[in-house]
Amino acid sequence: MYILIDSFSDISLALQNTLAETGASITYVVINDDRFLPDGFISIFDYIINLISPLPQAYLDTPLPCVKIPPHYSIISNSNVYGYICHLGKKKGTIWFRNGSPDICADRVERLDENGNIIRLDYYNRYGFISFSDFYNDNSEAICRSYYSADNKPILNYSYDTDTYCLIQNGHIISTFSGMDDLTSYCLATMHSTGKRIVPTTAKQANLLMHENLLDKQTDIVLFQNGREYQQYTEAPTLTNIPNHILLMNNESTKNHGASLPQSAHMIKYVNKKNRTLPAHLHALTLTMSDQVEGLAELAQESPHITFHVAANTSVSPTLLSYEQYKNVKVYPNISFQKLHELFMISSFYLDINYYYEIFDAVILAASTPILLMGFTDTIHNQDYVLPECTFPKGDYDSFAKKLYQLSTDSSFFADYLNRQSEENGKDLEILQTIL
């Protein structure tokens, strides 16, 4: 089965974790290219390149190599973000490091001519070789892009001027595509020819599949992680052959559609039934876009053995920063996705105690990690995912703090609660298994 995704995000991982519980064999195809996709995900460009020149298994088994530059060249850098490639004291290009480390493969490398003008920009991938390159004219304008196989042969060329893709095999053009939609249609038809089901996740994808007669009303599925996409899909007058099976993933943007779903549609919760034990060092996480975090001071004082991480996607006010007066509270303004992922991986508790909007789809990321969810009745952003025993009245800091302390000091008690949370959120898995 192929599931189409416009752009990769942590929510894509949450979907992967959830559907993995069904045992279905799924490849996630990402339309907007990402050169560092995790296992189980492939870009539409890598998919078409693998049709011509499959990626050797050796690349999958080999760690990322260090950055390679020509002999007698050197990298001069004062940071872990980028450096200058120099030869005999002259700048020959710029190299940007992946994840802020010069010890692994490059993210991209800019190459300059003798006059210092950019002539080429190479973009590397997770396996350490060039994924694609942009080529520039004398005015430093990108004119074309080439996508490469693992052995550095051009497989797909794109012209910025004509918005045209050319598919190449053995040095010869075998197909030409007018824009991204035409290229995507070709890939979808190829996927369909394998006999595998193709599952769209946006209204545009569904429309494209229907236009190409690649969706079967009786057997195929559409899946939405976004309420706006679902609404556009059901209201579009062109979508006359809507498949019988509609899956709507339960999150902040979709839960309000639950009451109006047709009989053929199912609201599915994100879940991960992986067992987790209490680590030696305990962490609790809260994501917020405001400085109003209910009961944080009280919880931090009652559980000094827990480190409380409070992360924001913007700069933060002095009020939020003041919580760092407690030695076990850390505040993160403008948190990066890399750091956010790290905090989810180390946390045992997600405290949904911030007022105003939810950010980063925090509740479903916690449920699909999995992390035990706790919160107050007036702060929880999606009550569907939180056990009643982990929900507390506003201002009842004492009960909340006692429960948190008990859960964080009794491994079997914690395991029981986390298992019940996963079982409750995984009640729809049987429906999923039947449909998939």
Whether 276 has a pLDDT exceeding 90, the answer reads no
Confidence class for position 10, pLDDT limits 50, 70, 90 = confident
Kindly report the average pLDDT of the chain as a whole number: 89
User: In this predicted structure, what is the pLDDT of residue 261?
Assistant: 73
User: In this predicted structure, what is the pLDDT of residue 218?
Assistant: 67
Q: Considering only CA atoms, which of 148, 124, 123, 146 is closest in space to residue 135?
A: 146
pLDDT in tens, 69-95: 777 788 887 777 888 889 888 999 998
User: In this predicted structure, what is the pLDDT of residue 430?
Assistant: 85
Confidence class for position 105, pLDDT limits 50, 70, 90 = low
Whether 101 has a pLDDT exceeding 60, the answer reads no
Of 30-39, 241-250, 279-288, 409-418, which range is least confident? 241-250
Among all chains, which residue has been given the structure tokens 């894509």? Answer: 12
The architecture that CATH gives domain 282-424 is 3-Layer(aba) Sandwich (3.40)
Given CA atoms 86, 91, 92, 97 in this order, what sign does their dihedral have? Answer: positive
pLDDT in tens, 221-270: 889 888 888 888 877 665 555 666 788 888 877 877 766 777 778 889 99
DSSP string, 90-120: EEEEEEEEGGG-TTS-EEEEEEE-TTS-EEE
Mean pLDDT of 401-425: 95
Share of the chain above pLDDT 90, in %: 61
Mean pLDDT of 105-119: 89
Residue 372 pairs in a beta bridge with 349
DSSP string, 416-429: HHHHHHHHHHTTTH
Q: Considering only CA atoms, which of 229, 163, 379, 377 is closest in space to residue 292?
A: 379
User: In this predicted structure, what is the pLDDT of residue 211?
Assistant: 83
Mean pLDDT of 46-67: 74
Domain boundaries, the chain: 2-55+180-268, 61-152, 282-424
Q: Is 21 exposed, middle or buried (0-12, 13-18, 19+ CB in 10 A)?
A: middle
User: In this predicted structure, what is the pLDDT of residue 59?
Assistant: 63
Confidence class for position 64, pLDDT limits 50, 70, 90 = low
User: In this predicted structure, what is the pLDDT of residue 36?
Assistant: 84
Question: What torsion, rounded to 10 degrees, do the Cα atoms 394, 399, 402, 408 define?
Answer: -50
> Between residues 344 and 436, which one has the greater pLDDT?
344
